[in-house]
């Protein structure tokens, strides 16, 4: 038996999905969790983002909560970083919330299957 046999790496799955988010789009923690089959573990997605902080290839700024609110902005370098990155990609943000989130929303089910 191998010592470090990884099981379903939930975090890793989260990272891969997040990496697939197209530029100019955003999704929610719950959507990712639901796509991975554990919609009740939306919190873990957020926690995964925290762990993903060390991995710069993960566009964590494209992940917001179900309201399109930039709840995780305080975990970035500065509280404005998240918004600035989003605006740079063409996403309008008002009062820490994505404008037209419904349109900007990227559904993993729709895009990945």
Partner DNA sequence: GGTCTGACCGGCG
Partner DNA sequence: ACGCCGGCCAGAC
- Judged by the rule CB under 7 A, the positions of this chain that interact with DNA are 10-11, 28-31, 33, 38-47, 49-53, 60-61, 63, 65-67, 71-72, 75-76, 82
Min. distance of Cβ 93 from DNA in angstroms?
A: 14
* Shorter beta-carbon distance to DNA: residue 43 or 92: 43
Partners of 63 in the beta sheet? 27
* Shorter beta-carbon distance to DNA: residue 49 or 91: 49
Output the CA angle 113-19-76, nearest 5 degrees. 135
Show the 3-state SS of 55-90: CCCCCHHHEECCCCECCCHHHCCCCCHHHHHHHHCC
* Shorter beta-carbon distance to DNA: residue 77 or 111: 77
Min. distance of Cβ 87 from DNA in angstroms?
A: 16
Alpha-carbon distance of 74 to 71, in angstroms, equals: 8
């Amino acid at each position: 038996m191998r010592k470090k046999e990884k099981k379903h790496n939930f975090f890793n799955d989260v990272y891969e999905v997040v990496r697939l988010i197209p530029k100019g789009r955003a999704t929610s923690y719950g959507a990712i969790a639901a796509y991975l089959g554990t919609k009740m573990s939306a919190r873990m997605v957020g926690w995964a983002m925290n762990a993903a902080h060390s991995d710069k290839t993960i566009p964590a700024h494209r992940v917001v909560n179900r309201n399109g609110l930039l709840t995780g902005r305080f975990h970035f370098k500065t509280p404005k970083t998240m918004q600035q990155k989003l605006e740079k990609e063409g996403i309008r943000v008002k009062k820490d919330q994505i404008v037209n989130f419904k349109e900007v929303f990227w559904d993993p089910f729709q895009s990945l299957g």
